[in-house]
Amino acid sequence: MQLLAGYIRSVSAINRWVGLTLSWLALAVVLVCFTVVVQRYFLHATQLWMQDLYVWLSGAMFTGVAGFALLRNDHVRVDIFYGRWSVRGKAIADLVGVVLFLLPFVVVVAVYAMPFVQRSWRIYEGSANVGGMPGLFILKSFILVFCVLVGLQGIAWVCRSILVLAGREDLLPETLRYRTETAE
């Protein structure tokens, strides 16, 4: 059980670090987008590579922070019933949801993305726009980063559910424990 708790802490720390680091790309996206708008409408000039840059930064950020969002429970969920369930009920729902839906989804995405990413690296793919940025192959690699980080966090959720169902939630850090909500 200690091994499961250690895995959860390790993966959560990785996703926390990656998420907090890549979340700064949001500021970069805003600054680059603002610069593109100023150039286009006030200076009547366009840098195509800059238009690529803010789109690519957005893509890198959103795929890279997905594991962090899962860690923080920030993903979209229809929370009609789940919020009122007991800790044990939530653990069962998460276990079933991750095993039946999340992990197979991540595997399918990884399997289908791999040739796509490999081809991109093989030809050192760049922007389709003339004058656009080189290095699209790096951005496409973030699809696999997404799969790894979300997959690892999904496995951490499975481990968390197992600890809860085994009555060992005490091994989890406070920030990773299930929250119980009261009906109002």
Six token digits for residue 14: 């990785």
Give CA–CA dist 68/74, Å, rounded.
8
Does residue 141 fall inside a structural domain?
A: yes
Does residue 183 fall inside a structural domain?
A: no
Residue percentage of the chain with pLDDT more than 90: 63
Say what the pTM is.
0.86
The torsion region of residue 93 among left (phi > 0), alpha (psi -120 to 50) and beta comes to alpha
Give CA–CA dist 180/84, Å, rounded.
7
Does residue 182 fall inside a structural domain?
A: no
Number of domains in the chain: 1
Does residue 181 fall inside a structural domain?
A: no
Q: Is the dihedral of CA 170, 172, 178, 180 positive or negative?
A: positive
Give CA–CA dist 123/118, Å, rounded.
9
Q: What would the mean pLDDT of 170-182 be, rounded to a whole number?
A: 74
Nearest C-alpha neighbor of 77 from the set 90, 59, 64, 87:
90
- pLDDT one-digit tens code per residue, 106-127: 999 999 999 999 999 999 998 8
Does residue 184 fall inside a structural domain?
A: no
Q: Is the dihedral of CA 125, 131, 132, 133 positive or negative?
A: positive
Least confident of 33-42, 116-125, 128-137: 128-137
Does residue 82 fall inside a structural domain?
A: yes
Does residue 16 fall inside a structural domain?
A: yes
Domain assignment of residue 72, given as a range: 2-176
